[in-house]
Amino acid sequence: MKSAGRRSAIAAALAAAATPAAAQTPAPWQIGMQAAHSPVEHGIHQLNDLVTWIIVLITIFVAGLLAYVMWRYNERRSPVAGKLSHHSTLEIAWTALPVLILLVIAIPSFRLIYFEDRVPAERADMTIKVTGHQWYWQYTYPDAKGLHFDSYMVHDEDLRPDQKALRHLAVDNQLVLPAGKNIRILTTSDDVIHSFFIPSLGVQRYAIPGRTIETWVRVDQPGDYYGECNQICGTNHSVMPISIHAVSPADFQAWLAQAPAKFSNAAIDTPVRVASASEQ
């Protein structure tokens, strides 16, 4: 009983220590993708599984065929080389089969591309505008009288103890979104090309100067979700994390009511400090 209790306590302690990076952040030595927390990311996982199994079956088939040919047509078993140079059935087969395989991959791929492209206007519950800057993000809520604020990475020396596990991911102001709602995202840039990328939510869109590009997200459940700018955009490209705080619709309305007072000085520029070599 004591050992079981001790194991439970250790497991609880490890779970508590791992909470900041549970399913929304990358984990050390992680091989697979982050857990899915949106319909689009679930679709990405399904497509990835389909393609993986197709590749596995092709690899097994080719390896088996190669082993058979090495065994059947080696010099000892076939001292006289065959003179067969053409086989119509085989020619048709190894042309038609790859085409069928590509169709099996292409159809769900195109469906997913169109699914993640945009949510119909009548089904969008709200809109968020994301503007990339060198080197921070600006978030605007057009439906909330243009509420906007900037989001900067918290540098190493400013991290709170509970943020140590989120080095290069923690920000001063998170993007707050209601869970379970269809949210249209409009991306643009004020200077160079950036990329708005949150792996666990299946969101990736370029932010390009002079253009507005659309995508959407529906966060499955409340929590914190992290991403990065994944388009090299200059010296401080490595200090442009994305942090999304998803809450219940009721909590979002409560946050929205007090946000204008909190961000009344959002237009005041925060000085941009060049990251040190240890932070890059």
pLDDT in tens, 180-233: 999 999 999 999 999 999 999 999 999 999 999 999 999 999 999 999 999 999
Write out the E strands in 113-202: 126-133, 136-141, 147-151, 175-178, 183-189, 194-198
Average pLDDT over residues 164-177: 88
Give the domains, in start order, of the chain with CATH numbers: 39-117 (1.10.287.90), 121-262 (2.60.40.420)
Phi, psi of 170 (to 5 degrees): -70, 140
- Residue-wise pLDDT for 45-65, tens only, equals 999 999 999 999 999 999 999
Whole-model pTM: value is 0.78
